[in-house]
A and B are shown apart, each in its own frame.
Chain A
Amino acid sequence: MATARLLVRPETRRTNSPTSANRRRRRVRPERLAPYVLVAPAVLVILGFRLWPLLLGVNFSFTGDGDRDGTPVGLDNYAELMRDPVFRIALRNVGLLVLLLPVAVAIPGLLATFLYLRVPGARVFRTVYFFPAVLSPVIVGSIFNLLLAYDGPLNAGLGAVGLGPADWLGDPHVAMFTVAAVHIWATFGMALVVFLAGFATLDATLIDAARTDGAALRQVIWHVIVPGLSRTIQFVFVTTMIGMLTSMFGLLYVMTGGGPGGATYLPEYYIWIQQGQMNRPALASAASTVLFLVMLVVGLAQIGLLRKATRED
């Protein structure tokens, strides 16, 4: 509680003797302190273990590793990052995910639309679809390692319909798509639930009116539902992108380990390897800072674009 007292020190300034002030404050208005006491532990934890590390990390990214530990090196780490082919692959994969993003949003969006339109069995579908979203990426990755094995069920199924087996995780041109697809499989339920919450706020009479005026389902979706859900769509776009950039670590760690040949690196995986395996924490910090900037730019760009698109509609 010493910290709480520290926080309220300005309030006690108007009394002259600290001991009598202390006593009087405790007797007369102890509740004056209460908000600070209630908030202090949370503030300390967030300050100490979230905001402070952020500043430390940015600062740390301008220092050296190994022999140059602790010495300022300016932008050397950033220059090295840009020269590192693996980091460039990681950035290219970010671009790939941005391209896949519309798919990752459209799937839950369409499914939510049909659930909203009360497809038979909607309740069961909803429960089933959402389930993978609560599973750990480690569990999902482990399960898909079994499914996608060269002699696993997926290739066996493909063989049954006359298609050759694919090396889902071993082919550098395929592996990143495979991991991204598994990520989408595992997370679309989360976006689906958000979409459904958005639908719940839609004005149903507007849709009914459009229907009575003879609008086709496609037109209703495009001209009534999409504009009505613009805020929800924005939210899903941004959170799905953040999810793709920050919650695929478990999948990558379990399914590919960044391979084959670095083909499935993402910045987050790169940070982990540099920190944990290569003992290059300063370089890892620089990669962290880049990831943060990428997320900021992508997020702001998306919000800007979507806002413009939905306004024109």
Chain B
Amino acid sequence: MRASRTTRWLAAAPMAALAVATVYPLVFTTNVALKTRHDYILDRFSPTRTAHWDNLGEAWASAGVSQYFVNSLIVVGCAVVLLLALGSMAGFALSHLPFRGSRALFLACLAALFIPFQVIMVPLARTMTGIGLIDTYPGLILAYVAQFLPFTIYLMTSYYSGIPADIVDAARIDGSSVYGVYRRIMLPLGAPALLSVGVLDALFCWNDVLIALLLMPSAQHRTLMVGITSLRGQYSDDIPTFAAGVLIAAVPILVVYLVFQRQIADAVTAGATKG
């Protein structure tokens, strides 16, 4: 449906204003990140005349952002691979292989979806300490997998449910094992869903601060987001370098968003259509 011309143009004005309000904070931060400290103290609003790229190098090298960045890459990379592997295996079994308790298992997954991390964080930290995984990469990776697996399984199960059972049957008649069906049919066919949920999982893990703060306390293990929070105290009198660190942390997200916008929206709304 189309509203009348005037209504549409009238609505466009406040919407454009809101779009500016959405973008401005980022523009401002970028501008600050490219100023010298001196320029910033004199005037923090006007556009920089000459972009001062040194702040980015300073934040990357001296402030330790590069180390935080690598830590985040390791943890998020491993977590996403595990999430996709476990999620697609379980999703395939739950959607195409009849077995005792599969319905109950799916419902348990849905229930787990609604347990917020805050509710389990204290006992989880104790458990991780107990099994010696506190402040280790595997511990944090495991925590992320546990946190986002229910969502991943839910999405993969609903996606695979849309794939006709005939395909599986045909492959079985041709002599493929169940594992073969998974590897040669389900995994390739599931690529679009794996991409969507993988990107979203990666964003969730990359953006998290609470879980990382709780389970990776020591400085050399800090993930990028935890590192940014520590940067603030460290550079409280050098705002441009702090802004540069924030910018470095935001740019990968911006890139992923622009490239995978549709996939992210798909994954978000796939979780919603259930109602």
Q: Is the interface of B mostly helix, strand, loop or mixed?
A: helix
Query: Nearest chain B CB to A268's CB is how many angstroms away?
Result: 4
B177 touches A30 (CB 8 A): yes
Encode B16-57 as 1/0 by CB contact (under 8 A) with A. Answer: 101101110110110010000000000011000000000000
B3, B86, B150, B265: the one contacting A41 at CB < 8 Å is B86
Instruction: Decide yes or no whether A99 CB sits under 8 A from chain B.
Output: no
Query: Nearest chain B CB to A3's CB is how many angstroms away?
Result: 13
Q: List 27 A-B contacts (CB under 8 A).
A: A34-B97, A36-B99, A38-B178, A39-B102, A41-B89, A43-B90, A43-B105, A46-B149, A57-B119, A57-B120, A134-B253, A136-B206, A136-B249, A138-B209, A142-B242, A144-B25, A146-B32, A194-B268, A198-B272, A208-B1, A232-B272, A246-B116, A249-B210, A253-B209, A267-B118, A272-B213, A292-B116
B119 touches A284 (CB 8 A): no
Query: Which residue of chain B lies nearest to A211 when distances are taken between CB atoms in the complex?
Result: B1
Since A39-B94, A197-B265 are in contact, a sample of 18 more A-B pairs with Cβ atoms closer than 8 Å, ordered by chain A residue number, is A35-B98, A54-B115, A56-B127, A117-B2, A128-B23, A134-B256, A137-B207, A138-B249, A142-B229, A153-B28, A190-B268, A193-B265, A211-B1, A271-B121, A275-B125, A281-B126, A288-B119, A291-B118
Q: For residue B99, which residues in chain A have a CB less than 8 angstroms away from its CB?
A: 35-36, 39
Chain A CB within 10 A, most for which of B8, B22, B118, B250: B118
Which residues of B from 98 to 114 have beta carbons under 8 Å from A? Answer: 98-99, 102, 105, 108-109, 112, 114
B143 touches A49 (CB 8 A): yes
Bound form: Cα–Cα A177–B11 in Å: 27
Instruction: Decide yes or no whether B214 CB sits under 8 A from chain A.
Output: yes
Bound form: Cα–Cα A114–B226 in Å: 38
Bound form: Cα–Cα A17–B193 in Å: 44
Query: Which residue of chain A lies nearest to B272 when distances are taken between CB atoms in the complex?
Result: A194
Interface residues on B, range: 35 or more
Bound form: Cα–Cα A151–B146 in Å: 43
Instruction: Decide yes or no whether A85 CB sits under 8 A from chain B.
Output: no
Instruction: Decide yes or no whether A89 CB sits under 8 A from chain B.
Output: no
Instruction: Decide yes or no whether B167 CB sits under 8 A from chain A.
Output: no
B232 touches A249 (CB 8 A): no
Encode A249-284 as 1/0 by CB contact (under 8 A) with B. Answer: 110011000000000000110011001100001001
A34, A46, A49: the one contacting B127 at CB < 8 Å is A49
Q: For residue A211, which residues in chain B have a CB less than 8 angstroms away from its CB?
A: 1
Q: For residue B114, which residues in chain A have a CB less than 8 angstroms away from its CB?
A: 242
Query: Nearest chain A CB to B39's CB is how many angstroms away?
Result: 15
Give me the 4 closest cross-chain CB pairs, A-B, nearest first: A49-B146, A136-B207, A34-B178, A197-B269
Interface residues on A, range: 35 or more
Query: Which residue of chain B lies nearest to A245 when distances are taken between CB atoms in the complex?
Result: B116
Contacts A117-B1, A138-B229, A250-B225 given: A131-B257 contact, CB under 8 Å? yes
Instruction: Decide yes or no whether B273 CB sits under 8 A from chain A.
Output: yes
Instruction: Decide yes or no whether A80 CB sits under 8 A from chain B.
Output: no
Q: For residue A111, which residues in chain B have a CB less than 8 angstroms away from its CB?
A: 15, 18
Contacts A46-B149, A143-B246, A194-B269 given: A60-B86 contact, CB under 8 Å? no
Contacts A146-B32, A275-B125 given: A42-B86 contact, CB under 8 Å? yes
Contacts A45-B86, A139-B246 given: A38-B97 contact, CB under 8 Å? yes
Query: Nearest chain B CB to A197's CB is how many angstroms away?
Result: 4
Q: For residue A250, which residues in chain B have a CB less than 8 angstroms away from its CB?
A: 207, 209-210, 225
A288 touches B268 (CB 8 A): no
Query: Which residue of chain B lies nearest to A49 when distances are taken between CB atoms in the complex?
Result: B146
Which residues of A from 107 to 146 have beta carbons under 8 Å from B? Answer: 111, 114, 116-121, 124-125, 127-132, 134-139, 142-146
A124 touches B19 (CB 8 A): yes
Query: Nearest chain B CB to A73's CB is how many angstroms away?
Result: 16
Instruction: Decide yes or no whether A295 CB sits under 8 A from chain B.
Output: yes
Which residues of B from 225 to 275 have beta carbons under 8 Å from A? Answer: 225, 228-229, 232, 239, 242-243, 246, 249-250, 253-254, 256-257, 261, 264-265, 268-269, 272-273, 275
Bound form: Cα–Cα A44–B153 in Å: 13
Bound form: Cα–Cα A171–B265 in Å: 37
A30, A201, A253, A289: the one contacting B229 at CB < 8 Å is A253
Instruction: Decide yes or no whether A301 CB sits under 8 A from chain B.
Output: no
Bound form: Cα–Cα A118–B44 in Å: 38
A118 touches B143 (CB 8 A): no
Bound form: Cα–Cα A15–B168 in Å: 30
Instruction: Decide yes or no whether A72 CB sits under 8 A from chain B.
Output: no
Query: Which residue of chain A lies nearest to B9 when distances are taken between CB atoms in the complex?
Result: A120
Instruction: Decide yes or no whether B73 CB sits under 8 A from chain A.
Output: no
B116 touches A153 (CB 8 A): no
Instruction: Decide yes or no whether B203 CB sits under 8 A from chain A.
Output: yes
Instruction: Decide yes or no whether A51 CB sits under 8 A from chain B.
Output: yes
Contacts A146-B29, A147-B25, A254-B229 given: A54-B120 contact, CB under 8 Å? yes
Instruction: Decide yes or no whether A231 CB sits under 8 A from chain B.
Output: yes
Query: Nearest chain B CB to A301's CB is how many angstroms away?
Result: 15
A272 touches B90 (CB 8 A): no
Q: For residue B182, which residues in chain A have a CB less than 8 angstroms away from its CB?
A: 38
Q: For residue B98, which residues in chain A have a CB less than 8 angstroms away from its CB?
A: 35
Which residues of A from 14 to 50 have beta carbons under 8 Å from B? Answer: 30-31, 34-36, 38-39, 41-43, 45-46, 48-50
Bound form: Cα–Cα A51–B228 in Å: 31
